[in-house]
Structure 1
Amino acid sequence: MLDLDRLPLSRKQLLSVGRATARINIWHGSVRSGKTVASLLAFVIAVAAAGPSGLIIICGRSLQTIERNVFEPLADPALFGPLSKHVHHTRGATTATILGRTVHLIGAADTRAEGRLRGLTAQLAYVDEATLVPEGFWTQLLARLSTPGARLLATTNPDSPRHWLKVGYLDRAHELDLRAWHFKLRDNPSLSPAYVAALSAEYVGLWRRRMIDGAWVVAEGAVYDMWDESRHVVTELPPMRRLLGVGIDYGTTNPFAAILLGLGADGRLYAVSEWRHDSRAAHRQMTDAQYSQAVRAWLDGLGAEPEWTFVDPSAASFHRQLWEDRHPGVAKAKNEVLDGIRSVSSALAAGLLLVHDSCAGLLAELPGYSWDPTATAQGEDRPIKANDHSVDALRYAVHSTAHEWRHLLPADHHQEVSDAAA
């Protein structure tokens, strides 16, 4: 029914199809790189070999994306030859038939989709655009693949280097029963050189690295588009010449974040440590007094006495609590958002500001901290107000102490920060 030698597949595609026998199999990389065709071929072969027990599932962001990304290619004789006649799906339906087997389709647009998986037992699952489904859904799906030899096959374009799929799975492939294949645009033998050149020309900068080279990097639109983990994250800290201050973003229902900023003996700034409390995740809210005590215990544990404590200006009651508890140098943080972003950006771009790898919340937020496209369309520069608690705490500490470190910048960055901090 299916002659692989007659299909326009690259050697990488063929190898991935034959070796997709792990519990988790992921094809990731650039747009139009051939990963979807290879993964679908592996899935169809798995359907043909599947036993009678357990469900077969296809998941995606929505039924519409499943139809577009899965069933339209499967129905194309140019891609799958005679096999396309054995794929039947009615648009809008939540089931399909592949090689005579019933396949269930599940859209996973938000965390509520996790409930659709509860109670079922699956033997085979295919996930389209895996980075777009909620992490909880993915975790629940893996738990439901409980029959002997059950497998998950998934495709995705790259996302943030701190995305849960990258950090929790791809980066841990050696620890898990997981195989992954990385595809670049040039890995698709069916594309003409003219098309490859045209598509490559449509993307620039970091977006080009993601969508053409298939790299897990920060996309265009990121506030700190100069952020590079390989350049800005350190595992060891030099001796601190000064502990300039702690920046605190106050939250009750939202996460509370504190970042300790130090000036190293090497003349560079360091996000030395972070303390966070997420009341939703912990199922426990804290009072101002408890937060104050927790911050003090964190700093005492580090043996740290910062010169200043910069607090979100809107947190008046917490500011008063810190002052009553005699935290050092309690002051309202400079909260000019754009000017603060310029200060942080200049320090990052100059290689002056580095982050210790223990600052998990900050490292998770920095790559995805993005400009609001709606505001941009209206001619405004405004970051999206989401997942920004640790980055705000960093901004408070960096911008509020700019007068202490701006002289360390190269000459071409110096005036920019001077203007921003004025």
Structure 2
Amino acid sequence: MKIKTNVVFEHLLQSEKKITVEQGGTRSGKTYNILLYIIFKYCLENTGKTVTICRKTFPAVRSSVMRDFLDILKQYKSYSEAEHNKSNHEYKLNGNLVEFISLDQPQKVRGRKRNLLFINEANELDYEDWQQLVFRTEDKIIIDFNPSDEYHWLYDKVIPRDDADFYITTYLDNMFLNKSIVEEIERLKDTDETYWQIYGLGLKGVSKATIFNYIEVNKIPEDAEFVSYGADAGYSNDPTTLVSVYKKEHNLYIREHLYQTQMTTYDIANKWKQLGIQRETIYFDSAEPRLIEELKRMGFNVRPSLKGADSINAGIDLLKRFKIHIEADSHNCIQEFRNYKWQEDRSGKMINKPIDKNQHTIDAVRYATYSVLSKPNFGRYTII
């Protein structure tokens, strides 16, 4: 059978490593050619194998990669109703099981082993998702994604691996695109530089879901005014954090002092003493009244953070009115600001609510700034 393929298919034929990573712009043919490889190469040359194809949510699976898979089978007259288990979202192909799952189906993610794994739009996944899938994959892993995040665990944890091949493709690698689609993509050159970088050239860009921009600085200016300390409590899995915030005109400067788990009240107090904190104000999460009272009795000027209506978004809104600077050696703080993003609904549309994960220094910064700077400058918030 003669099939129409592009360079992505060739990459998969050539790649002898366990992991093949296909990064690329829109309409480069990544997903389509990976499916062609799975159907007409892997499944026709093997039998008795399990192939898992997944995305973050099942609506996304159903409306994209599963639909493409079935369309390809029908296009090449290879579809059989008898082999399609629609209720389980599975298809039997030459004695192989092809299953479609999502990360919102934990029982399937942690279920049976598989031989080949294809993660579509892998940048939607958390690193923990990746690990659960990889632990149960025996032979081959293929992933594709648009590089809409400047920083992502894929760049730190997967692409540098010595058992991974990495490729970049663009719409220019897809010779089957019609002229109107090409013109629409190339229009991004003049209308949206970030989108052109990501979806046109297939290169890393700053995600539109990223909440904060920031600048790394080696040193906080000596004439910057101290605002306050901010602290967030953790224990087993979440760290206890402490930051100090400084202000100079419309610039905020942040320094990370503490980021550590398994800290008791006495541990926190001892660390603060080592840092030389005396009577400076420390705004602490108001949801921790016991800790606040214990630290007060130890001689610290600890106060509950101020909270108004929708205080998280109010605090974010306040911070976004300033240019944010973070000291370069505040590594955990930088990582959290880098990865702090708005949530998406099941259709992929951003909603006005941040992802509630790994924002411990950010919370501390919010406590310090909102508790002080909202009072004189942002009176439209109701302080309670």
Q: Say whether the 8 Å CA contact 2:123–2:145 is kept in structure 1.
A: yes
How does the TM-score come out when normalised to structure 2?
0.73
Q: Which residue of 2 aligns with 1:165?
A: 154
Show CA shifts across 1:59-118 (max 9, x none): 3345664454334334446x997485699534334431334533344333154443313x
Equivalence map 1:125-274=2 (5 Å): 125-133=117-125, 135-146=127-138, 150-158=139-147, 160-170=149-159, 173=160, 175-198=161-184, 210-220=198-208, 222-224=210-212, 227=213, 232-233=215-216, 237=219, 245-250=228-233, 255=238, 257-261=240-244, 269-273=252-256
- SS in structure 1 opposite 2:26? coil
**Partners of 1:238 and 1:371 in 2: CA distance:** 32
Aligned residue pairs, count: 367
Take 2:352 and 2:59, find their aligned partners in 1: how far apart are those partners?
31
Unaligned runs of 5+ in 2: none
Looking at structure 2, the residues matched to 304 and 89 of structure 1 have their Cα atoms a distance apart, in angstroms, of: 66
1:344 aligns with 2:319: yes
**Are residues 1:356 and 2:331 paired?**
no
Give, in angstroms, the shift of residue 152 of structure 1: 0.7
The Cα RMSD (Å) is 4.5
Contact 1:366 1:391 (C-alpha < 8 Å) held by counterparts = no
Query: How far apart, in 1, do the equivalents of 2:259 and 2:133 lie?
Result: 29
Rounded to whole Å, the distance in 1 between the matches of 2:245 and 2:362 is 16
Residue 344 (structure 2) pairs with residue 386 (structure 1): no
User: Going by fraction, where is strand more abundant, 1 or 2?
Assistant: 2
SS of aligned partner of 1:116: coil
State the AA in 1 paired with 2:131.
Answer: T
Which residue of the other structure, out of 380, 390, 396, is the alignment partner of 2:367?
Answer: 396
Letter in 1 for 2:42: A
Distance 1:360 1:97 in 2: 47
User: CA-to-partner distance for each residue in 1:360-399, whole Å, 9 max, x for gaps?
Assistant: 266235543327989xx9xxx9644723443221122344
**8 Å contact kept, 1:233–1:354:** yes
Q: Distance in 1 between matches of 2:127 and 2:64?
A: 20
Change over 3 Å in CA distance of 1:341–1:135 after alignment to 2: closer
Relative distance call for 1:41 and 1:357 in structure 2 (3 A) is farther
Q: Secondary structure at the match of 1:394?
A: helix
- Which protein has the bigger helix share? 1
Q: Is the 8 A contact 2:227 2:247 kept in 1?
A: no
Query: Which whole-Å CA distance do the structure 1 matches of 2:98 and 2:145 have between them?
Result: 21
Residue 94 and residue 385 in structure 1: after superposition, are their counterparts in 2 closer, same or farther (change >3 A)?
closer
More off after superposition, 203-212 vs 23-32: 203-212
Q: Quickly say closer, same or farther: Cα 1:339–1:86, change in 2 above 3 A.
A: closer
Residues 303 and 206 of structure 1: CA distance in aligned 2, closer, same or farther (over 3 Å): farther
Structure 1 residues 285-311: Cα deviation after superposition (integer angstroms, max 9, x where no partner): x7xxx2x33333444566677833122
**Pair 1:169–1:345, CA change in 2 (3 A):** same
Work out whether residues 256 and 333 of structure 2, in 8 Å CA contact, stay in contact via their aligned partners in 1: no
Contact 1:16/1:38 (<8 A) preserved = no
Say if 2:302 is the partner of 1:330.
Answer: yes
Aligned-partner Cα distance in 2 for 1:56–1:362 = 38
State whether structure 2 residue 291 is matched by structure 1 residue 318: yes
Aligned counterparts of 1:330 and 1:75: Cα–Cα separation in 2:
61
Q: How far, CA to CA, are the matches of 1:20 and 1:31 in structure 2?
A: 22
Alignment partners' CA distance in 1, 2:29 and 2:272: 51
2:342 aligned counterpart, secondary structure: coil
Q: Secondary structure at the match of 1:392?
A: helix
Residue 321 of structure 2 aligns to a residue whose secondary structure is helix
Q: Is the 8 A contact 1:222 1:367 kept in 2?
A: yes
> Quick one: structure 1 residues 217 and 360, their matched pair in 2 at CA, closer, same or farther if it must change by over 3 Å?
farther
Tell me by how many angstroms 1:38 deviates: 2.8
Query: Identity over aligned residues, as a percent?
Result: 18
Contact 1:222 1:371 survives alignment (8 Å): no
The one-letter code of the counterpart of 1:151 is K
Deviations 1:186-220 (A, max 9, x none): 44333234224446769857566555554554543
2:216–2:325 contact (8 Å) kept in structure 1? no
8 Å Cα contact 2:48/2:95 also seen in 1: no
AA paired with 1:354? I
Q: Structure 1: how far apart are the matches of 2:321 and 2:99?
A: 51
Return the TM-score normalized by structure 1: 0.68
- Cα distance in 2 for partners of 1:199, 1:91 equals 35
Contact 2:259/2:332, CA 8 A, preserved across alignment: no
Aligned equivalents of 2:337, 2:65: Cα separation in 1:
32
Aligned 8 A contact 1:247 1:395 in 2: yes
Amino acid at match of 2:269: R
